[in-house]
Amino acid sequence: MLFPLFLTSCGGDGSGGEHDLLTDEQRKKEVEMITDVIKAYNKANNDRNWAGMVQTLDKEVTFFGSDKGEMSKDMAAFKETIKNQWENYTVMEYGEIQDIYVELDDYATLANIIFGVPLKVVSKEGVSEDLFVIIQRTLKKILLIKNG
C-alpha cells in the first residue's frame, strides 16, 4: 500500500504579506489550513475521487509507499499506483487524523507534518484489516502575488 509523502499546496491569501514572520495566531491558522488539506485528501481517497485528491497536490510530487520498492516520482506513476490500490481493495478508508505534529518554517512556506490515522482495508478476496498508520507529509505553500 502506498502511504504518500508529497508536496502539496495550501495557497496564499494574495495579500503580499506572505514573507512576513508569522505571529502565533497566524501559525495556528496555518496549522488549521494544513489539517484541512490532509482531511480533504483523505476524504477524496475514501471516496475514490481522483480529481479531489489532485486538488490537494502540487505539480511536483514524490510518493513513498510502505516499503522501499514503492516510490512514484510523478503524478502519472502515482495515479497508476492509486488505481491499482482501488482495484485490489474494495474498501480503503482513512479515519480521523490523530496526534498531529506540524513543523513550519518562519514564513509558512514549507511544512513537515506527521500524524497517525486509522485505516480500514478490505481486499477483493474479503480479507479485512484495521490498521493504524503513521504518515509523514511535506507541504509547500504556493504563494499568490498581487500584480500592481
* pLDDT tens readout for residues 23-76: 889 889 989 989 999 999 999 999 999 999 999 887 777 777 766 667 778 888
Q: Where are the domains of the chain?
A: 24-88+101-113+136-140
pLDDT in tens, 101-126: 999 988 888 889 999 999 999 999 99
Lookup result for grid cell 493504524 = 132
The CA distance from 33 to 27, in Å, is 10
Contact between residue 95 and residue 63 where contact means Cβ atoms under 8 Å apart: no
* pLDDT for residue 11 is more than 90: no
pTM of the full structure:
0.77
From the list 134, 136, 116, 7, the residue with the least C-alpha distance to 72 is 7
